[in-house]
Chains A and B, each alone.
Chain A
Amino acid sequence: GQQLNQSPQSMFIQEGEDVSMNCTSSSIFNTWLWYKQDPGEGPVLLIALYKAGELTSNGRLTAQFGITRKDSFLNISASIPSDVGIYFCAGQSDNYGQNFVFGPGTRLSVLP
C-alpha cells in the first residue's frame, strides 16, 4: 500500500527558532494534510493543501504542497513551548479510505 515518510523523526530546538519538516512518498497524492497531536489527545488538523504548489499559512505555520505531488513541507516560525508535540502528515489520493494514510510523525521538542 501507499506509505508516507516523515523527516526528521524527532528534533530538539530552542524556543524562538524556526522549524522545518517534510513528508515524502513514492505515490502521488491529491490532498496533503498536517496534524498535530498533543500527549493523551487525538490529532488536530493544522493545515490542508489541495493543489500542487499551493502554499498555505495558519498563524506561524506554513505548509506547501510539492509540485511533484509526492511531498509536502511544514514550517513553524518562532517556535514556542506549546509547539511541542508530534506532527503528522497525511495524504489522500482519492475519496476512498484505502488511499488515505498517515505518516509516522515528527516529534518536536522545544527547549526554553
Chain B
Amino acid sequence: DAGVIQSPRHEVTEMGQEVTLRCKPISGHNSLFWYRQTMMRGLELLIYFNNNVPIDDSGMPEDRFSAKMPNASFSTLKIQPSEPRDSAVYFCASSLGLSYNEQFFGPGTRLTVL
C-alpha cells in the first residue's frame, strides 16, 4: 500500500523564488497535516485540513505561506517569496478523522533556500 507521498524530496531554490510542495495523502484518509521541522524549532504544525477544508492555520508563519487542498487526494504548500529562513524539512501527514495518534507521515521535502 502506498503511504503518504510527497514531492519533491529535495528542493533547492534562490531567495525570492516561489516554492510549491506537494502531498498525496493515503487513500481514504480525510485529514491532512503540514509540518515544518528545523533544528531550532523542532516539529511545528503549520496547518491541517479535514475533508479538504482548512480547520486551523494558526501555525502558518506568515502571509508568504499558503496551503490548498483542492481535492481529497492532493494538497500543496506554497511559499512566495521564499527566504533563507524557510529552509527546513516539510512533512505532510494524513489520518482518518482528526485523530493525531493515527497520523501517517510522508518522507518529507528538504527545502534549501539560498
| Chain A residues engaging chain B, CB cutoff 8 angstroms | 31, 33, 40-45, 48, 88, 90, 92, 95-98, 100-105
Contact = CB atoms under 8 A, between A and B. Distances in A.
A40 to B, nearest CB: 7
Interface in B84-111: 91, 93, 98, 100-103, 105-108
B56 interface: yes
Contacts of A105: 42
A104 B100 contact: no
Interface residues of B, number: 23
Given A97-B45, A97-B47, A97-B48, 4 more contacts: A45-B103, A97-B56, A100-B100, A102-B45
Nearest to B31: A97
A48 B99 CA distance: 11
A41 B91 CA distance: 9
